[in-house]
Amino acid sequence: MTIFDGIILGVVQGFTEFLPISSSGHLVLVQDLLGIKQPGNDFEITLHIGTLCSILVVFYNDIKDIILTVSSKETKKYILLILIGTLPAVVIGLGLKDFFEQLFDNLIIVGFSLIFTGLVLMSSFYFKRENKEHSIVTSFLIGLAQAFAIIPGISRSGMTISCALLLGMSPKQAAKFSFLLAIPVISGAGLLMATDMETGFNMGLSTSLMGLLTSFCIGIISLKWLLGWLEDGKFHYFGVYCFFIGIFTVVA
């Protein structure tokens, strides 16, 4: 993999991580188009670390408020909800790590997963916009949706936000919880990759750094764009794109 390839994949990751169209699925498709043969998903995790930094920048004030008010009862409850929402991805991700890694080489699975993502996103148009109280049950269900998104082609943000909207959360609440929920999961995946000495950085340090930097910069732009579309009620538009790109992938 060249530095140019790393930049291209960083751009793809930055745009697709926050837009609910599955970054993992698009990375698989673009790598196939470019003829890149990269075993496992270590480089994808590197790119995810870049977009993780984008979350820290865009949600800086929310994160700062959590840190400054960590002793309050309300903040402690919110942190507990994030931890509960994180558990499914940790348990399922670690328990089925080898199985999920094999899926990244299967374009048919990616195609059908994109179709599924598209159907879920389009159906979100009919979810009633409410402002229900967040609970342990809703956190766990959203966490299950996040764990399901480990499959390439299933959008993490698409699944978690759609699930939150279905459970009665407001678009603003859904987006905030979805992306704060991503912080421990992506951080954990990054640490897991760093301890994997057998495959760590087998794509080259310079390529990894350029991919990480590119995904970070583009990620900030796409995240702000998504938040605007979500508030305007245009979230389901992304489902049309996922549905047809999924069909194209399966057929082609």
pLDDT digits (tens, 9 = 90+) for 203-239: 577 888 898 999 999 999 999 999 888 888 888 889 9
**How far is it, in rounded angstroms, from Cα 213 to Cα 219?**
10
Model pLDDT for residues 160-201, shown as the tens digit of each residue: 999 999 998 988 889 999 999 988 887 877 676 666 644 444
**How far is it, in rounded angstroms, from Cα 225 to Cα 44?**
22
**How far is it, in rounded angstroms, from Cα 39 to Cα 18?**
24
Mean residue pLDDT across the chain: 86
| pLDDT-derived band at 39, boundaries 50, 70, 90 | low
> Does the pLDDT of residue 6 top 70, yes or no?
yes
Model-wide pTM > 0.85? no
> Does the pLDDT of residue 202 top 70, yes or no?
no
